[in-house]
Amino acid sequence: MEFLHPNFLYLLALLILLSIFKKFYSFNKTASFQVSNTKHLKSFFGRPGIVKIGLFRFLFISSLVCLIIAIARPRISTNDKNITIEVVDIMLVLDTSSSMLAEDFKPNRLEAVKQAAKDFIDNRKGDRVGLLVFGKETFIQCPLTVDYGVLNNLLSEVTVVEPKYDGTAIGIAIANAINRLRVNDSKSKVIILLSDGSNNTGAIDPIAAAKIAKDYNIRIYTIGAGTRQAVTQIPGGRYIRNEIDEESLKGIAAETGGKYFRAIDKQSLAGIYAEINDLEKSEVIVNYYSEYREVYLWFLYAGFIFLLLSELFRIIYFRRIV
């Protein structure tokens, strides 16, 4: 149990001090008076009288104690604890050029990548994850979020870019991902770049973009998606050449302290995400608070009941006129 206004509890200490002062002050004070018959005074000045006076004082002081506690606003948390979790800010950067329609991954590269990314997202616990897609230009599909349901819905809507946007601008994609991550105060920031081609457009060199990421303490993991076949067919009967620039992807990862992976099938792609999950861990302490249950009303009711009983006791046994 905790108190929303704990400073009011100091009134309890004041109440104790006043009780002690009254006891010692009254002890030094004596009074006497003469009566013709003490028969009716025995009930007040004998043991029964002392008990009655003590009970009255107990009820009155109890009412004050309960009312002071009620003012301090006691409440109980049903689940209040500190736990350590691993939190990372992650920006998924996904190549959506036309080559992602190649069917060396079933049903095609893009759908296989989306399913693996979805499984990766479903295993997050507190991480903020965003999604950026790119071709010749980049588009923020989803900003950093912990709402994985929304993120997965937006991921499912990702399609290959229109022909006028077709291309692979890796440098620009990295730069835009950096821009999304750099303003955050998270200690661990990660870009997971997945591409099946080489940088063939854009004004920013990928290695230069990686150096910028390093300056912002952002680690980049690169994934080259595609089989080692020289030529791969895509819907429509066209064939595309697998031109993954592994050296560039390795250089991007190495520049930031990350790692390069080559995904040749759905199983290896899933394994890559699992390995990245193990590599990136940043422990933070998070306070979890559930709903508070207010209990001040119980003390308030008790205080009024004790106060009412003390007044009734005074009226009945001490013949107080009200």
pLDDT in tens, 18-57: 878 777 766 555 556 566 666 665 555 556 666 777 787 8
Residue 322: what pLDDT?
A: 45
Higher pLDDT, 111 or 3: 111
CB 248 within 8 A of CB 206: yes
pLDDT (mean) for 187-196:
89
- For residue 283, report the phi and psi dihedrals to the nearest 5 degrees: -75, 130
**Strands in 178-317 per DSSP E:** 189-195, 218-225, 231-233, 239-241, 260-263, 283-289, 292-294
CATH architecture of 84-286: 3-Layer(aba) Sandwich (3.40)
Nearest-10 Cα torsion for 135, 141, 145, 146: -100
Q: pLDDT tens digits for 298-313? A: 988 998 998 888 888 7
Q: pLDDT tens digits for 259-303? A: 999 888 778 888 888 888 777 655 555 555 556 778 888 988 998
Domain map (residue ranges) of the chain: 1-15+47-79+290-322, 84-286
- For residue 46, report the phi and psi dihedrals to the nearest 5 degrees: -85, -165
Residue 79: what pLDDT?
A: 62
d(CA 179, CA 64): 60
Residue 243 pLDDT greater than 70, yes or no: no
Residue 41: what pLDDT?
A: 59
Residue 81: what pLDDT?
A: 58
Q: How far is CA 210 from the centre of its chain?
A: 30
CB 242 within 8 A of CB 229: yes
What tokens does 88 get? 């990372």
Which of these ranges, 22-26, 102-106, 129-133, 207-211, has the smallest mean pLDDT? 22-26
**For a pLDDT cut of 70, what percent of the chain falls above it?**
79
3-state SS assignment for residue 128: strand
In this prediction, residue 170 has a pLDDT band, given cuts at 50, 70 and 90, of very high
Q: pLDDT tens digits for 57-99? A: 888 888 889 999 989 888 887 665 555 556 789 999 999 988 8
CB 224 within 8 A of CB 260: yes
Count of all residues that appear for the chain in the document:
322
- pTM, to two decimals: 0.61
